[in-house]
Amino acid sequence: MKHVALAVVLAAALALSGCLVKKSTHQKALDHISQLEGRIAQLEQEEADKKRAIAELEKRLAELDTATRDREAELSRVRGEQQATQAELDDLRRQRDAQEKRLAAYRDLQAKFRALVDSGKLQIGFRNGQMVVKLPSSILFASGASDLSTAGKAALGEVVQVLLEFKDRRFLIAGHTDNVPIKTRKFPNNWVLSTARAVSVLEFMLAQGMPPESLGAAGYADQDPVAPNDSEPNKELNRRIEIILVPNLSELPQLTVDQP
């Protein structure tokens, strides 16, 4: 703008003193002023173009910053999903390993108990996710009694000899009855009868050399049937002693406990 003002002043001065300056000189001055104005216009256009370019670059930079933040957020999300997937995969592998250990123990027990299973004295299977050795009450006890019969002691003795090989295992002895009520002086209900039978089995196993820290006993009365109590064969299935193989902590899925 200073150049424009200077050109205007110079033009005015030349106009006022035109009579004193040669025409050719005057024309040269005018041409120079015109050149200056053209150059000024060119510079102003270049300056405007540069401002537009700078504005465009700043806009592009802002877009790149936004895109970068979006990519970082997406990358963070994907990494989080990857970690969650890896944790889930690790958990599934632990569950698979635990299941394989249970199956291996089941096959081992089944092989060792083959003769007893084949004779019908006991059954082996999984129930509620736990391995169970099931003995019918008719083999172990007389009706309405909790004292082991001679045949029951013989069968249970064979079971104990196998279980003694699993020294690092714990066992829960569970007594079960059918739904026929009992009411005697010794057994006022099925809870007492089922518990007394479980304790009788436990005491016999202790006497056979089972370590006491590996055993426990519980009575379930008729509250955990394996068949409907609608026929005598089904009731006989429900009258039973179960020796439950308690899983080790390493065989259980890992639990996350919320901190208070």
Amino acid 203: pLDDT:
97
Amino acid 258: pLDDT:
42
pLDDT band, very low/low/confident/very high, at 10 (cuts 50, 70, 90): low
- pLDDT digit string, tens, across residues 207-219: 999 999 999 999 9
Reading phi first (left if > 0) and then psi (alpha if -120 to 50, else beta), residue 148 is in beta
pTM for the predicted model, two decimal places: 0.59
Q: What's the distance, Cα to Cα, between the start and end of the chain in Å?
A: 74
Protein fold of 113-250: 60s Ribosomal Protein L30; Chain: A; (3.30.1330)
Amino acid 67: pLDDT:
81
Least trusted range by pLDDT, from 32-36, 92-96, 245-249:
245-249
- pLDDT digit string, tens, across residues 128-139: 878 899 999 999
* Sequence ranges of the domains in the chain: 1-15+22-102, 113-250
| Contact in structure between 189 and 181 (CB atoms under 8 Å) | yes
Residues with Cβ within 8 Å of residue 199, at least 6 apart in sequence: 146, 217
Give the DSSP letter string of 39-86: HHHHHHHHHHHHHHHHHHHHHHHHHHHHHHHHHHHHHHHHHHHHHHHH
Q: Give the number of residues written for the chain.
A: 260
Helices (H), 113-189: 114-119, 137-140, 150-163
135 closest CA partner among 233, 228, 243, 220: 243
- pLDDT digit string, tens, across residues 225-243: 999 999 999 999 999 999 9
